Amino acid sequence: MSTEKSRFPRPPFDQQPQQFPGLASAMHPLPDHGEKSYQGRERLVGKKALITGGDSGIGRAVAIAYAREGADVAINYLPAEESDAQEVIALIRAEGRKAVAIPGDITHEDFCKTLVERAVSELGGLDILVNNAGHQQFCESISELTTESFDATFKTNVYAPFWITRAAVAHLGEGAAIINTSSVQAFKPSDILLDYAQTKACNVAFTKALAKQLGPKGIRVNAVAPGPYWTPLQVCGGQPQEKVAHFGEEAPLGRPGQPVEIAPLYVTLAADENSFASGQVWCSDGGTGTA
């Protein structure tokens, strides 16, 4: 029988540099997105969800969980992530749910509009929006942080959720849920993630303000703030390779989280049972107690 200490991989890990945006299928150990372990309980039956960054990492785990909870799911991802995305599409369809693949770059406003339009059209509506896609590239010094890199981080992490949500609101009715992926970096920023941490703080403020704005319409807005999670975001420039080898080691649980471990939070925040939870940031960081 597995114990907490043996169930999931623990550092040290091999150094494993990948080109951005990275593939989960090329990581070792492979991230656990719940492909074999997540069991649904019919908490989202009949719901229609759009998830950005749904090919790998947290987005992939959420897509699998939503499908097994009874939802139809559209995922967005970059064209370079097509192989990972097709695995997710197959897993969603294996549950008898509708799966919609919409590749494209959310740093472009026009595509964000198209993304929502396609999701609504192909799913037949929209009940849940998960703004999850993120861009993270470490940089040791502000003197070396280029405007191009800074802009890419903000366009992905701040502008895109704004553009996508603005387009989606017209299609969301009472009882709908918006869930944003923030980070513990919003509360305890790392020196090498100066731009990324700023964007994650923006996600928190966006969530809290939007919850007040959309509350009268019966639309709930919440955020999840992950700590160290084992995803492609880390190995393709999100962390230096020497830190990848020891990633998650400083958490009280002594390891990084696996995406399957955070997916239930996204299910909870989307489920009708939590109809009074809005404007909140739910943290999952392995015991650090950051937020």
- Tens digit of each residue's pLDDT (9 = 90 or more) over 148-180: 999 999 999 999 999 999 999 999 999 999 999
Among 66, 77, 159, 196, the active-site one is 196
Give the pLDDT band of residue 128 (cuts 50, 70, 90). Answer: very high
Quote the CA–CA distance of 79 and 53 in Å, as a whole number. 11
Buried b (16+ CB within 10 A) or exposed e, 147-156: eeebebbbbb
pLDDT in tens, 68-80: 999 999 999 999 9
Q: Which residue has the tokens 């393709």?
A: 236
* 266 is known as an active-site residue: no
pLDDT in tens, 218-275: 999 999 999 999 999 999 999 999 999 999 999 999 999 999 999 999 999 999 999 9
Q: Taking the model in full, what pTM does it have?
A: 0.96
Cβ(180)–Cβ(206) below 8 Å: yes
C-alpha torsion 230→189→77→85, nearest 10: 10
The residue type found at 111 is F
CA of 46: how far to CAs of 112, 131, 188, in Å? Answer: 24, 20, 38
Beta partners for 180?
A: 131, 223
- Of 31, 22, 45, 36, whose CA–CA distance to 91 is shortest? 36
**What tokens were used for 215?**
């509350």
Number of H helices, E strands in the chain: 10, 7
Domain boundaries, the chain: 42-284
pLDDT in tens, 181-194: 999 999 999 999 99
Instruction: Name the fold adopted by 42-284.
Output: Rossmann fold (3.40.50)
Quote the CA–CA distance of 163 and 225 in Å, as a whole number. 21
- Of 291, 257, 267, whose CA–CA distance to 4 is shortest? 257
Predicted confidence (pLDDT) at residue 1 exceeds the cutoff of 50: no
Quote the CA–CA distance of 262 and 61 in Å, as a whole number. 8
